[in-house]
């Protein structure tokens, strides 16, 4: 959790009345009964949205750029780590991979890996 | 913006959630209905938001307001000028958004926003209510900063071609009509502006066209800046591919444009006049018109936002993305606008469920073509910090200056691949 978010939550916790009204509200909302996505999965999805700009929606490429969809989590994670530490040659992927922590790379790999499993 | 202010806004948001004008801006009776998100502008930011809202939560009602029946992208419009693509190649319709994703696309212009009643008025007179509004209207031009210049002149003799469509066609025709040995004058604006490397990719691809068809011609760049995006890479590419053809003058080196005379096709600089057969003046820019009319822009002409959700700091419930917004370290690019659109779609889905937005991850890659087999790029990965949207240290950056010919060719191929995929990701 980011420092910013922790700070916000701390502030909210210090205002129990406000927090309570927020929750009560959510419970009456139409979407409240829907299962809330676990934080890690959502984070993986948010991170993965960035990839679609070049690799296509859901990582399905329609061009010379390689697809991510259909690759295994292991393959994706290894590729990204190798781009990051420079052991795999690239044009632009090294510059992108350096923007993600190893944990984030793991989440991205899991997200894309599971996406193709889900739809097969 | 300071963190305390942002936290305060969030606190306010959470605190008013149960009240009549709270998080959803409407009374409790509406909660049973489908949540309505309205998006203004079907360009890189707006169309991406509309698509990803439906992708992330198909139960939402999503309306996209865009006056044009088809969108012509600025990306690759320089390739059209160079003869490498056609206007058809860079035109995209809203058919897939409408039919495959269930977005309600309305071909009209938004003329007013009521941030209290949460509604948008269209030029037809129709009024549309929203629970959340996304505004991505792109840019508008400051026509009054240069003596003798006006919108009329831009539309007739000195096109900017900085919004793709008829302007691109006009500039293309002028280049084709120019005699061998003519001068093309290209005037890039000062910062900040849409697509920082764009004017220099344009110079490159016009040079590519001239070298093949009118080799005695030249290009003079009169710049409002002292330096420019990917300067080392462009300069090296120009020397290699178009030696002696492109002359760049910095702002203090005679580049600053102070006036134009359309009759004599002359550009007046601080250090004298320059004549051109073709004059491509790109004026200074500001947020799209509707952003001003709705009170979303600040005195500098751009829209301040909360970087966690791109919600306006001027009006609650309205998110501003793309070129119009102030997105910290991110450049004004189509890639950035679409990345912001996706992050905003995810934030809105969460907010409408009464949840906090997940901390965003943002990205940009801008490819520029120096020649058909000669591509260069700048990349960036961005996160939220206490200082707003910042680039992750050690990530991103430029194509290395010593890149091999193979790498440059690869980047040119990836540029083409990028365009195919991002357009499909947004409008496909
Ligand atoms: C020559 C050139 C080359 C470029 N190359 C690249 C590139 O290679 N890569 C890259 O990432 N970026 C590139 N860009 C930048 C890119 O075009 C912009 O950054 C991007 O279009 C911004 O997206 P946006 O959604 O903010 O605005 P736009 O894409 O301009 O979309 C705005 C839309 O809003 C609509 N609109 C405006 N007002 C209203 C209203 N009142 N009601 C309804 N609709 C309205 C407009 O009709 C328009 O369709 C380039 C730009 C130029 C000029």
Tell me how far the alpha carbon of residue B44 lies from the centroid of ligand 1, in angstroms.
Answer: 6
pLDDT, tens digit, for every residue of B20-77? 333 333 344 445 479 999 999 999 999 999 999 999 999 999 999 999 999 999 999 9
User: Do B92 and B152 lie in a common domain?
Assistant: no
Interface of A with B in 34-93 (CB under 8 A): 34, 36, 39, 42-43, 45-47, 49-50, 52-57, 61-65, 91-92
Please state whether B165 falls in left (phi above 0), alpha (psi between -120 and 50) or beta. Answer: left
Q: Choose the final residue of a domain: B262, B281, B300.
A: B281
- Predicted local distance difference test score (pLDDT) of residue B36: 98
User: Do B335 and B410 lie in a common domain?
Assistant: yes
Distance (Å) from the alpha carbon of A89 to chain B's nearest alpha carbon = 10
Complex-level ipTM: 0.90
User: Do B305 and B277 lie in a common domain?
Assistant: no
Q: Quick one: pLDDT band at residue A119, thresholds 50, 70, 90?
A: low
**Nearest CB partner across the interface for A29, out of B6, B31, B428:** B31
User: Do B196 and B221 lie in a common domain?
Assistant: yes
**DSSP result, B24-71:** TSS-GGGGGSPPEEEEE--SHHHHHHHHHHHHH-TTSEEEEE-S-SEE
CB atoms within 10 A of CB B382: 28
Q: Which residue has the higher pLDDT, A27 or A111?
A: A111
Instruction: Pick the closest to residue A99 from A115, A116, A83 (CA basis).
Output: A83
Tell me how far the alpha carbon of residue B331 lies from the centroid of ligand 1, in angstroms.
Answer: 13
In this prediction, residues B152-162 reach a mean pLDDT of 98
The dihedrals phi and psi of B106, each to the nearest 5 degrees, come to -110, 120
User: Which tokens hold the place of A110?
Assistant: 């899991």
Task: Determine, for residues A26 and B379 on separate chains, whether the beta-carbon distance falls below 8 Å.
Answer: no
Distance (Å) from the alpha carbon of B19 to chain A's nearest alpha carbon = 9
Q: Which residue, judged by its Cα, is nearest atom 22 of ligand 1? A: B334
Measured CA to CA, the distance from residue B187 to residue A73 in angstroms comes to 48
How remote is the C-alpha of B135 from its chain's centroid? 13
Q: Measured at the alpha carbon of residue B367, what is the angle toward residues B226 and A53, in degrees to the nearest 5?
A: 130
pLDDT, tens digit, for every residue of B262-275? 999 999 999 999 99
Q: Which residue, judged by its Cα, is nearest atom 45 of ligand 1? A: B41
User: Do B220 and B110 lie in a common domain?
Assistant: no
- Predicted local distance difference test score (pLDDT) of residue A32: 41
Measured CA to CA, the distance from residue B190 to residue B255 in angstroms comes to 11
Lowest mean pLDDT segment, chosen from A9-13, B253-257, B264-268, B342-346: A9-13
pLDDT for A3 beyond 90: no
In this prediction, residues A1-16 reach a mean pLDDT of 39
Ligand 1 atom at minimal distance to the Cα of residue B422? 11
Percentage of chain B lying above the pLDDT 90 cut: 92
- Predicted local distance difference test score (pLDDT) of residue A38: 52
Kindly list the residues from chain A whose CB atom is less than 8 angstroms away from the CB atom of residue B422. 53-54
In this prediction, residues B191-198 reach a mean pLDDT of 98
Q: Which residue has the higher pLDDT, B358 or B227?
A: B227
Ligand 1 atom at minimal distance to the Cα of residue B47? 25
User: Do B386 and B275 lie in a common domain?
Assistant: no
> Structural domains in chain A?
39-118 (1.10.760.10)
pLDDT, tens digit, for every residue of A14-67? 333 333 333 323 333 334 444 455 555 589 999 999 999 999 999 999 999 999
Structural domain total, chain B: 2
User: Do B45 and B85 lie in a common domain?
Assistant: yes
User: Do B118 and B156 lie in a common domain?
Assistant: no
The dihedrals phi and psi of B287, each to the nearest 5 degrees, come to -60, 155
Q: What is the DSSP-derived secondary structure letter of residue B303?
A: B
User: Do B245 and B354 lie in a common domain?
Assistant: no
User: Do B220 and B243 lie in a common domain?
Assistant: yes
Lowest mean pLDDT segment, chosen from B4-18, B22-36, B202-216, B316-330: B4-18
Q: Quick one: pLDDT band at residue B164, thresholds 50, 70, 90?
A: very high
User: Do B331 and B346 lie in a common domain?
Assistant: yes
Instruction: State the residue range of the domain holding B240.
Output: 146-281
Tell the residue number behind the tokens 């992108």, with chain if given.
A96
Q: Is A98 on the interface with B (CB under 8 A)?
A: yes
**Nearest CB partner across the interface for B346, out of A22, A46, A98:** A46
Tell how many helices (H) and how many strands (E) occur in chain A.
Answer: 7, 0
Contact (Cβ atoms closer than 8 angstroms) between residue B344 and residue B319? yes
Q: Choose the final residue of a domain: B281, B311, B328.
A: B281
- Predicted local distance difference test score (pLDDT) of residue A41: 55
User: Do B118 and B38 lie in a common domain?
Assistant: yes
Instruction: Pick the closest to residue B7 from B392, B361, B356, B320 (CA basis).
Output: B356
pLDDT, tens digit, for every residue of A81-96? 999 999 999 999 999 9
**Nearest CB partner across the interface for B361, out of A12, A46, A65:** A46
Most A CBs within 10 Å: which of B417, B420, B423, B428, as the mutation test of the A interface? B417
- Predicted local distance difference test score (pLDDT) of residue A29: 36
- Predicted local distance difference test score (pLDDT) of residue A118: 74
**At a CB cut-off of 8 Å and minimum separation 6, what does B9 contact?**
B306, B313
- Predicted local distance difference test score (pLDDT) of residue A34: 46
Most A CBs within 10 Å: which of B53, B361, B380, as the mutation test of the A interface? B361
Q: Quick one: pLDDT band at residue A12, thresholds 50, 70, 90?
A: very low
- Predicted local distance difference test score (pLDDT) of residue B215: 98
**At a CB cut-off of 8 Å and minimum separation 6, what does B395 contact?**
A95, A96, A97, A98, A99, A100, B379, B380, B381
- Does residue B334's CB lie within 6 angstroms of at least one atom of ligand 1? yes
Q: Choose the final residue of a domain: B281, B305, B340.
A: B281
- Does residue B138's CB lie within 6 angstroms of at least one atom of ligand 1? yes
CATH number for the domain harbouring residue B43: 3.50.50.60
């Amino acid at each position: 959790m980011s420092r910013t978010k922790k700070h916000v939550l701390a502030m909210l916790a210090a205002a129990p009345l406000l927090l309570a009204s927020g929750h009560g509200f959510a419970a009456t909302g139409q979407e409240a009964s829907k299962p809330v996505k676990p934080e890690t999965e959502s984070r993986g999805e948010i991170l993965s949205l960035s990839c679609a700009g070049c690799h296509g929606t859901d990582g399905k490429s329609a061009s010379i750029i390689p697809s991510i969809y259909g690759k295994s989590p292991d393959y994706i994670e290894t590729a990204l780590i190798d781009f990051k530490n420079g052991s795999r040659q690239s044009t632009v992927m090294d510059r992108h991979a350096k923007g993600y922590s190893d944990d984030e790379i793991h989440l991205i790999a899991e997200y894309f890996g599971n996406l193709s499993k889900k739809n097969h | 913006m300071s963190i305390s202010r942002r936290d305060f806004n969030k606190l306010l948001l959470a605190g008013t959630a149960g009240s009549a004008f709270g998080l959803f801006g409407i009374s409790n009776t509406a909660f049973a209905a489908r949540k309505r998100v309205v998006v203004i502008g079907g360009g890189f930011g707006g169309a991406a938001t509309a698509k990803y809202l439906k992708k992330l939560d198909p139960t939402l009602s999503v309306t996209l307001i865009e006056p044009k029946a088809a969108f012509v992208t600025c990306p690759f419009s320089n390739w059209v000028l160079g003869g490498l693509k056609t206007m058809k190649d860079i035109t995209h319709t809203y058919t897939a958004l409408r039919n495959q994703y269930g977005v309600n696309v309305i071909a009209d212009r938004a003329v007013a926003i009521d941030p209290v009643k949460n509604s948008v008025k269209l030029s037809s007179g129709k009024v549309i209510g929203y629970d959340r509004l996304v505004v991505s209207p792109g840019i508008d031009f400051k026509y009054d900063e240069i003596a003798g210049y006006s919108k009329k002149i831009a539309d007739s003799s000195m096109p900017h071609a900085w919004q793709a469509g008829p302007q691109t066609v006009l500039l293309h025709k002028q280049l084709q009509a120019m005699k061998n040995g003519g001068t093309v004058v290209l005037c890039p604006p000062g910062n900040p502006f849409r697509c920082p490397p764009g004017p220099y990719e344009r110079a490159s691809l016009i040079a590519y066209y001239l070298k093949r068809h009118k080799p005695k011609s030249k290009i003079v760049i009169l710049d409002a800046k002292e330096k420019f995006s990917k300067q080392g890479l462009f300069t090296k590419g120009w020397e290699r591919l178009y030696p002696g053809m492109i002359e760049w003058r910095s702002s203090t080196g005679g580049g600053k444009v102070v006036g134009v005379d359309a009759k004599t096709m002359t550009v007046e600089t601080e250090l004298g006049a320059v004549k051109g057969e073709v004059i491509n003046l790109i004026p200074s820019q500001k947020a799209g018109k509707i952003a001003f009319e709705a009170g979303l822009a600040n005195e500098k002409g751009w829209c301040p936002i909360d970087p966690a959700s791109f919600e306006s700091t001027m009006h609650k419930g309205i998110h501003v993305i793309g070129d119009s917004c102030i997105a910290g370290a991110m450049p004004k690019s189509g890639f950035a606008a679409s990345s912001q659109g996706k992050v905003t779609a995810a934030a809105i889905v969460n907010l409408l469920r009464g949840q906090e937005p997940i901390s965003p991850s943002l990205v940009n890659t801008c490819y520029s073509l120096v020649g058909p087999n000669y591509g260069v790029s700048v990349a960036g990965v961005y996160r939220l910090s206490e200082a707003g949207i910042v680039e992750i240290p050690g990530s991103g950056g430029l194509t290395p200056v010593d890149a091999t010919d193979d790498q440059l060719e690869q980047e040119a191929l990836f540029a083409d691949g990028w365009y195919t995929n991002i357009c499909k990701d947004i409008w496909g």
